Amino acid sequence: MHYSLDDAAALLSIAEDLHAAAAEIPIPTPTAYGTGLAEDLEDQIRRLTTLLSSFANTVAVHSRTPRAHGRPPLRTHRRVVMEAHAAGAVGTALAELAEAMVQVAVLQDAPGLHHPAGHADAVRSAHAALDGLFDSARRRLHRAAHQLHGGADHLARPSAQAPSTIPESRVAPSPPASATARRSFNR
C-alpha cells in the first residue's frame, strides 16, 4: 500500500495558513474603520502575496521535475493542481483586499469632502463596501482551506496497490518445467 503523507501534509499546512489568514482579516467596527486598518490590510496583503508566490513556485518546480515514464507522479500532480486552485482563491481574496484599500482611502479622505450630505453617504458606502469585501475574502479563503483539507484526506488514503506492480491475474502463467519436458519427448 502506498501513502502520500508528504503531499497530504503539505496540503494540510497550506490549509491551516489559509484559515489563519482568513481569521486575521480585520473586522472593522463603526468606531475603528480608519485606526490602523490600512496597516492591518497591508500585513494581510503581504501574507497572501507570499502564499501566492509559494503556489507559483510549487507549480514552476513541478513543471521542471523529470517525469518517470513521461508522466508526473499522480499524487504529487494532484497536490500541485489543488494548490493551483487554491492560488486562484487567494488571488481573488487578494484583489478584494486591494479594493478594500481603496475604501480605506475613501474613509481617510472623508473629512476632506465638501458637502456634509456627501460625506455621510461616502462614509456609509465605504463601511458597507469594506464589510462586504472582508466577508467575501474570509469566506473565499476558508472555502479554499476546506477544499485542501478534503484533498489531503484523499491523498492520505492508501491506494489499493502501488502503480508499479502488476496484478497476478494479468500475468500469463508459465507451464511447469516438467510439462515442457514431457512435450519435447512426445514429438
135-172 pLDDT, tens digit per residue, is: 999 999 999 999 999 988 887 776 544 444 444 444 44
40-80 pLDDT, tens digit per residue, is: 899 999 999 999 999 999 888 887 776 655 666 677 788 88
118-127 pLDDT, tens digit per residue, is: 677 877 888 8
3-state secondary structure (DSSP) of residue 167: coil
C-alpha cell recorded at residue 123: 462614509
Q: Which is more confidently placed, 113 or 29?
A: 29
Return the ∠ at Cα 163 (arms to 160 and 169), rounded to 5°.
Answer: 70
Per-residue confidence band for 29, with pLDDT thresholds at 50, 70 and 90: low
Does residue 114 carry a pLDDT above 70? no
CA 23 to chain CA centroid, Å, is: 16
Alpha helices in 65-159 (DSSP H): 74-109, 116-156
Q: What are phi and psi of 69, to 5 degrees?
A: 60, 30
